[in-house]
Structure 1
Amino acid sequence: MTAAGTRAPEADAVGEDFPVKCVRPPRSSARGRAAWVLTAGMAAALVALALLSAGLGAYDIPLGDVLAAVRHRVGLGGHGLDRTAESVLFDIRLPRVVLAVLVGASLGCAGTLMQGVFGNPLAEPGVIGISAGAAVGAVGAIALGLSFAGNWTVTVCAFAAGLATVLLVYAMSRDGGRTEVVTLILTGIAVNAFAGALIGLFIFFADNAQITQIAFWQLGSLSQATWPKVLAVLPCALAGLLAAPLYARRLDLLALGERPARHLGVEVERLRRALILVVALLTASAVAVAGIITFVGLLVPHLLRMAAGPGHRFLVPGSALGGALVLVAGDLAARTVAIPAELPLGVLTALIGSPFFFWLLRRTRRRQGGWA
């Protein structure tokens, strides 16, 4: 009964020849506005941090000179700098900033896709061993002196190893048609341990020059960024980043559950296989140039999901933008916190991301009432 003592129209339909119609409440635009505000804010912050990162370091370049030199280089006025400043800006800083954007966007987007594919909030390429697996491919190519694909050899090996790792994790974490969180994490622990053992074996047989390169992959860094490396990773990263948003709607349907998604026309297994390839492509391209950088793909999607909701139409591109922002900021901190020394970027992200992962693990466990 309503307040006026009459029955609601929906109640009159019960028991009649026509089924009850589901009345959808008006859709709030609050989350839509939050998504637009977040996108604009992250884009503005990324541009500001990129310019700041291009100028700050052991050799400081004023922001006005950075802007003037970039405008001068593209033919929009401005003025050139002296030879040292030009070399630092265009040969060292800008390739590093661009590489940080590509790697951060790849890792953030890959984390979102992993969480959507596996259907749980704890999935991330680094946590479940995909980054370590891709690193094994890259380290193996270095230690064995492989060069079958020229400059693409390390990227190809990283991609192949990353793909094999993600397929293994996917197969082992499935039980009864669904992915178990505990199995996923334990599989990641096992894969990370095995990958660490393989890397240690490669180190044992490597020479001193190769050991230096391998240490770079283990710690994660953008210190060796160059324009050829940017161009080497650009096709893989762009292919993955452009393909990922095409699956946003189907990821939203998959979040309802496998059976409802199938009834709504989603080919679940085909979707998973396609996204696994995209994740492997994004992760391998990032690992191939930056080494193992963990927790970016775990932290960024969760922060955005808490702020603007779980819709993948925003979450997939938003995580790419947020990942780029986080990694540019992290690389700037790694370069400037301990000048003239430089902190390994992978170590820095792990120091920040590990407590967040521990909090998330306990939060998920409380919500599910325990793992047993």
Structure 2
Amino acid sequence: MLLNPPARAPRPQSDVAGPVPPGRVRRRLVRRTWLLCLGLVVAACLLVVVSGAVGSVAVSPVQAAQIVLGHLLPGMPWMSDGSLTPLQDQAVWQFRLPRTLLAGLAGAGLALAGALMQVTVRNPLAEPYILGVSSGASVGAVLVIVLGSAALGGLSLNLAAFAGALGACACVATLARKNGTLSPTRMILAGVALGTLFSAVTSYLTISTSAQNVVSVLFFLLGSVSAATMSSLIGPAVALAVAGVVSALLARSLNALMTGDESAVSLGVDAARLRGLLLVVASLLTGTVVSVAGGIGFVGLVVPHVARIAVGADHRRMLPVTVLGGAVFLTAADLLARTVTAPTEIPLGILTAFVGAPFFLWLMRRGDAERAGFGR
């Protein structure tokens, strides 16, 4: 006689398909954030080594790493074998490493500026290029190139670019104000219109200057880090450090602002004052980057949105991923710009536009504002 098999014990409720407890989701996202940040740091280090090996002077990745470590850790046996020539050392340390580091700083700064602007207008389509901030910074920088620093009261290229970015932000904020508050939709529309106007100004300045300045202006407007030096890293590094500290301190307030002004006020956040501070910080980042790397668009659009998809909309997790992702993205783009059509070089703005413009259209088509944490 066959005995009926014993009934299988029911599975615990936690294993049954259903909603995952919020605590488990949060721990999973935190673990993913740490792993992703670690992976991005490793990728950035590898890009530094590979970029140091690419160029007209033959240097292997191992030799590039030896040169960098030899300068960072003098007295260590990194360069004691005598196989490295002074020309190789100069190529890596004085030319290739500064441009790689500048590309990383510029990418991190533009990505962070884009993330802050997207919270300011509560729209994932916002970024310095689209809101006209990059164009305003370009106007200030081009005025210095065309007219000279003396004509602008002795303003340096960096200060003129920052002033242009801050002026563009002030114009956008003024035009977007409705009933005493900033309208996110009006900010997008005002930014697009002012960006077009500023681009027309830079075009006029370009055609009205000498032929020698035209090449410099055009190459500057398209974006490049080929003229980077160690001293040119100071401005972007300081701006990124200041903006990073401010953003980290305001991460919870950014989360509140993203849910809407009424919710933010109920949580004790002064939405109007916070928006003004975010615009100033974003202007500082954008103006500093534009002054040393030119007009590079769409970094602030692509990277923050990908970071939100990867680790969620909480700015305590999203902002570190955004900064590191922007550094890796633009460093890889610079390496690609140097190698695709070697020995000539593609301006960075062209490569980022090839990636960013289709992403912008895809983002509008899919309407991922709610899924990215906006529009609630």
1:1-372 alignment runs, 5 A limit: 26-28=23-25, 29-73=27-71, 74-75=73-74, 76-79=76-79, 81-147=84-150, 153-175=156-178, 177=181, 179-181=183-185, 183-364=186-367
**Does the 8 Å contact 1:147/1:153 carry over to 2?**
no
Q: What is the alpha-carbon distance in structure 2 between the residues aligned to residue 233 and residue 152 of structure 1?
A: 18
SS of the residue 2:156 aligns to: helix
**Does the 8 Å contact 1:237/1:285 carry over to 2?**
no
Q: Offset of 1:71 from its aligned partner?
A: 2.4
Instruction: Give deviations 1:102-135, integer Å, cap 9, x for gaps.
Output: 1011001101111111111111001121101100
Task: Quickly say closer, same or farther: Cα 1:234–1:36, change in 2 above 3 A.
Answer: closer
2:18 corresponds to? none
Letter in 2 for 1:103: A
**Does the 8 Å contact 2:142/2:217 carry over to 1?**
yes
Farther off after superposition, 68-77 or 256-265: 68-77
Q: What is the alpha-carbon distance in structure 1 between the residues aligned to residue 142 and residue 353 of structure 2?
A: 20
**Does the 8 Å contact 1:112/1:315 carry over to 2?**
no
CA-based RMSD of the aligned residues comes to: 2.3
Gaps of 5+ in 2: 1-20, 372-376
Q: What is the alpha-carbon distance in structure 2 between the residues aligned to residue 128 and residue 257 of structure 1?
A: 20
Letter in 1 for 2:259: L
Letter in 2 for 1:255: M
Q: What is the alpha-carbon distance in structure 2 between the residues aligned to residue 65 and residue 329 of structure 1?
A: 20
Letter in 1 for 2:366: R
Farther off after superposition, 239-248 or 302-311: 239-248
Task: Quickly say closer, same or farther: Cα 1:308–1:84, change in 2 above 3 A.
Answer: same
Q: Offset of 1:274 from its aligned partner?
A: 1.0
Aligned pair count reads: 345
Q: What is the alpha-carbon distance in structure 1 between the residues aligned to residue 238 and residue 23 of structure 2?
A: 42
Q: What is the alpha-carbon distance in structure 2 between the residues aligned to residue 205 and residue 292 of structure 1?
A: 20
SS of the residue 2:353 aligns to: helix
Gaps of 5+ in 1: 1-23
The TM-score normalised by the length of structure 1 is 0.87
Task: Quickly say closer, same or farther: Cα 1:325–1:166, change in 2 above 3 A.
Answer: same
Q: Offset of 1:342 from its aligned partner?
A: 0.5
Q: Offset of 1:84 from its aligned partner?
A: 1.5
SS of the residue 2:78 aligns to: coil
Task: Quickly say closer, same or farther: Cα 1:336–1:202, change in 2 above 3 A.
Answer: same
Aligned-residue sequence identity (percent) comes to 37
The TM-score normalised by the length of structure 2 is 0.86
